[in-house]
Amino acid sequence: MRSSCRLSTFDRTDRLVTAADRPEGYEALNKLVAREKTVIARGAGLSYSAASFGLETLSVDMTRFDRILAYEPNTGMITVEPGLRVGDLLAVLAAKSRHLPALPGYPEITVGGCVAFDVHGKSQYHTGNFGDWVEEFRVLHPEHGEIACSRNSEREIFELTIGGLGLTGIITQVTLRTAALNGTGIQTSCVRARDLVEAADIMRAHSAEVDTLYSWNNMNLRGRGFGRGVVFLEKFVAVPKMAVARTRRLFGIRSQLPLRIWTRTLTNLVLRLYERAQPVGKSRVSGLHTSAFPIEGKEVYYAAFGRLGFREYQMIVPFQRWVAFVEALARVFEQARVPVTLGSLKLFKGTGRLLRFRGEGICLAIDVPAIAASLGLFSELDRLALAMEARANLSKDSRMGAATCEAMFGEYAEFRSTLRRFDPNRRCQSRLRGLIGV
Amino acid sequence: MSSALVVGATTGVGRGIARALAKRGVDLMLVARTERDLRATAADMEVRFGIRAHWLVTDIALPGFEPDDLLERCKSLLGDVASVFVPAGAVSDEDYGPNPDIVAPIAAVNYLGPARIAATFGRAMRSRGAGQVILFSSIAAAAPRGRNVAYSAAKAALEIYARGLRKELEPKGVRLAVIALGYVDTRLSFGMKLRFPVADPDAVGEYVVSRRLHGRCHYPRFWWWITLVLRHLPWPIYRRMPF
């Protein structure tokens, strides 16, 4: 039933008491979408931005729409409801010797959220974004009804919905392509990188021979060792009975410790210990689930930010700008004096369209506690990103405004005009929509 | 158990039961009111668990509902069903205080429909000398209040009916149980601040399917103690209770 709920972004920097409902069937869903003035879909609620709630908007929790509607063994096509969690999807596919390569790092994230943010996994360089695996979907809009979209039919709505921040309506089903599973285990090798530039060089050098690759970097070091860390190189291997093994969770993903543990001193200590613990020069084999969802089992990392939460900045920096970018980034961090709890790199390939997080270059992600100085740091990062023609990830950013967004995304105006033409009365509304001005 | 019927299979506890059964390789007949949800639930069971899941659109509250037709349909598709689960039920916002218009529809879906299914399938099981029927009540049956007054009465009636039916069926090899559910994490309880924890529908399904239940049971178990107290409270105290 329609209730008043306290909802927040995953990074905990934006909270709101708002109306929410969780229908369990299509009849109830259709009724409430027709009845409400404005609606927005909500999945697992793990977006860092306020994409699934807003003032005077009914947040429609779609987690009970988690069924698998069809599976075609000959083609590997699977049709699912949007509330299906990617961890469950992977388990079902793995049992059929298939998988979906473009999966986000946490198993609770829903398929609908993956479409709305066109999410990426660790193997974006090889396999593209989630949207590349979407064949067709249906989206329910309060005025247009339920529309079936694919690359051949309703193409404009199809393009607008993938990475469309949930603003074209409520996705009711998605058909996905899947890939054959080349092994049920993942072999991970660990290579040391002396700094951020070397980390990127190692990744580019190994990109052709591995299935996935990413790095962990210590961004709190100054001078020549800025961004020192390790690069993880992963390959599929045949290991019996490992595919469905899940990681044990001690904390919920939304758990919060009463106090912020990530102080400057403790951050430095933990990061040094973490770096030492990495098996450099060795390799290990883990199960498909464990490897696909590396955040699972590490929820304490997020809980340790306490009630105030944290902020993440993720951007794709063009390859040719990387060295200059790293020099400028080191200067920004030197002045900011904010503890950086996570630094990580991935390789990206493709072309950015509309507001999607795509492009050719190196993807950098950083986490910092949501202390006062972090906003100033992120404004500096905005300026740096614009100067380097980098592209930020809106699903990881709870504060980027319309002006920065317009300057950063070349097709911002096209996205806004197409969305307004499709939804002139703004029946799909979220706090994020207001913030970025579309 | 090789096959089972679940009435009210597309949402909440019904879906939880269907999942728990399918996980154990039990072929299913799923019954609910909306075709799209039935198709989706049946497909989900088949793809995930590799079982056969048939479905039938019907409304057990309608006067035209014939449990014999349902029995025949089950027989033709699955043979003799070993278990029948009837978690179907409904509440209404209009079920508040003295409202004569709501009594019949609430009784139809919460008492008459489930009781008729239990009787029809119970009779068939008695002749075979095997089977189980699981019905679903609510803690509201033990603690009626101004809101959901007709619902509480319908569930209490179902409990009484099941008690009598059990006396007749159990000696003939047919088990019959009524599960009085406390708060369950469904749309009804979504976003509400409740005094007691809500139960996950899948956990209810696992509980119901994995145990050999008979008689009146409570889930979660602590509700047995609460309803015991509530049933024996003197009226002057009961009427002051804050629910």
ipTM for this prediction: 0.93
From A60's Cα to the closest Cα of chain B, the distance in A is: 11
At residue B243, the pLDDT reads: 76
CATH number at residue A243: 3.30.70.2520
Domain-located, residue B45: yes
At residue A245, the pLDDT reads: 61
Domain-located, residue A141: no
From B54's Cα to the closest Cα of chain A, the distance in A is: 14
- B10 in contact with A, Cβ within 8 Å: yes
Query: Over 80: is that where the pLDDT of B104 sits?
Result: yes
Domain-located, residue A115: no
Residue of chain B minimizing CA distance to A26:
B37
Rounded to whole angstroms, the Cα distance separating A350 from A126 reads 10
Cis peptide before B220 (omega within 30 of 0): yes
From A78's Cα to the closest Cα of chain B, the distance in A is: 10
Domain range enclosing A247: 185-402
Q: Which of A25, A326, A334 is nearest to B33 (CA)?
A: A25
* Nearest-CB residue to B48 (from A1, A20, A68): A68
Whether A20 and B190 lie within 8 Å, measured CB to CB:
yes
How many CA atoms are closer than 13 Å to the CA of B129, on its beta-carbon side? 0
Give first-to-last CA distance, chain B, whole Å: 40
Domain-located, residue B104: yes
Domain-located, residue B243: no
Residues 6+ apart with CB under 8 A from A331: none
- B229 in contact with A, Cβ within 8 Å: no
Domain-located, residue B9: yes
Domain-located, residue A97: no
Whether A24 and B40 lie within 8 Å, measured CB to CB:
no
Domain-located, residue A337: yes
Phi then psi dihedrals of residue A155, to 5 deg: -60, -40
Domain-located, residue B218: yes
Rounded to whole angstroms, the Cα distance separating B206 from A127 reads 38
CA gyration radius for chain B? 17
At residue A241, the pLDDT reads: 63
Domain-located, residue A123: no
Query: Over 80: is that where the pLDDT of B87 sits?
Result: yes
Domain-located, residue B91: yes
Rounded to whole angstroms, the Cα distance separating A427 from B2 reads 48
Q: Which of A94, A97, A126, A96 is nearest to A107 (CA)?
A: A94
CATH number at residue B85: 3.40.50.720
Domain range enclosing B133: 3-238
Q: What's the total number of domains in chain B?
A: 1
Instruction: State the SS3 of chain A.
Output: CCEEEEEECCCCCCEEEEEEECCCCHHHHHHHHHHCCCEEEECCCCCCCCCCCCCCCEEEECCCCCCEEEEECCCCEEEECCCCEHHHHHHHHHHCCEECCCCCCCCCCEHHHHHHHCCCCCCHHHHCCHHHHEEEEEEEECCCEEEEEECCCCHHHHHHHCCCCCCCCEEEEEEECCEECCCCEEEEEEEEECCHHHHHHHHHHHCCCCCEEEEEEECCCCHHHCCEEEEEEEEEECCCCCCCCCCCCCCCCCCCCCCCCCCHHHHHHHHHHHHHHCCCCCEEEEEHHHHHCCCCCCCHHHHCCCCCCEEEEEEEECHHHHHHHHHHHHHHHHHHCCCCCEEEEEEECCCCCCCCCCCCEEEEEEEEECCHHHHHHHHHHHHHHHHCCCEECHHHCCCCCHHHHHHHCCCHHHHHHHHHHHCCCCCECCHHHHHHCC
Segment 34-63 of chain B within 8 Å of chain A by CB: 34, 36-37, 39-41, 43-44, 47-48
Rounded to whole angstroms, the Cα distance separating A156 from A422 reads 10
- Residues from chain A that touch B47, judged by Cβ atoms under 8 A, are 68, 70-71, 78, 92
What pLDDT digit, counting tens, does each position of A156-210 carry? 999 999 999 999 999 999 999 999 998 888 999 999 999 999 999 999 999 999 9
- Residues from chain A that touch B28, judged by Cβ atoms under 8 A, are none
Rounded to whole angstroms, the Cα distance separating A404 from B32 reads 50
Whether A27 and B44 lie within 8 Å, measured CB to CB:
no
Q: Which of B1, B48, B6, B4 is nearest to B23 (CA)?
A: B48
Percent of residues, chain B, with pLDDT higher than 70: 100
- What are the C-alpha distances in Å from B48 to residues A1, A90, A327? 29, 12, 51
Q: What's the total number of domains in chain A?
A: 1
Indicate if the alpha-carbon torsion angle B183, B187, B188, B194 is positive or negative. Answer: positive
Indicate if the alpha-carbon torsion angle A287, A293, A296, A302 is positive or negative. Answer: positive
What pLDDT digit, counting tens, does each position of A353-408 carry? 999 999 999 999 999 999 999 999 999 999 999 999 999 999 999 999 999 999 99
* pTM for this entry: 0.94
Give pLDDT tens digits along chain A (438 positions). 788 999 999 999 999 999 999 999 999 999 999 999 999 999 999 999 999 999 999 999 999 999 999 999 999 999 999 999 999 999 999 999 999 999 999 999 999 999 999 999 999 999 999 999 999 999 999 999 999 999 999 999 999 999 999 999 999 999 999 999 988 889 999 999 999 999 999 999 999 999 999 999 999 998 889 999 999 999 999 877 655 567 778 889 989 999 999 999 999 999 999 999 999 988 899 988 998 999 999 999 999 999 999 999 999 999 999 999 999 999 999 998 899 999 999 999 999 899 999 999 999 999 999 999 999 999 999 999 999 999 999 999 999 999 999 999 999 999 999 999 999 999 999 999 999 999
Phi then psi dihedrals of residue A47, to 5 deg: -75, 140
What pLDDT digit, counting tens, does each position of B114-147 carry? 999 999 999 999 999 999 999 999 999 998 888 8
Rounded to whole angstroms, the Cα distance separating A5 from B183 reads 18
CA gyration radius for chain A? 21
Domain-located, residue A170: no
Phi then psi dihedrals of residue B216, to 5 deg: -100, 125
Whether B190 and A3 lie within 8 Å, measured CB to CB:
yes
Rounded to whole angstroms, the Cα distance separating B70 from B56 reads 8
Mutate to test the interface with B, among A42, A69, A175 (most CBs of B within 10 A): A69
Domain-located, residue A350: yes
Domain-located, residue A191: yes
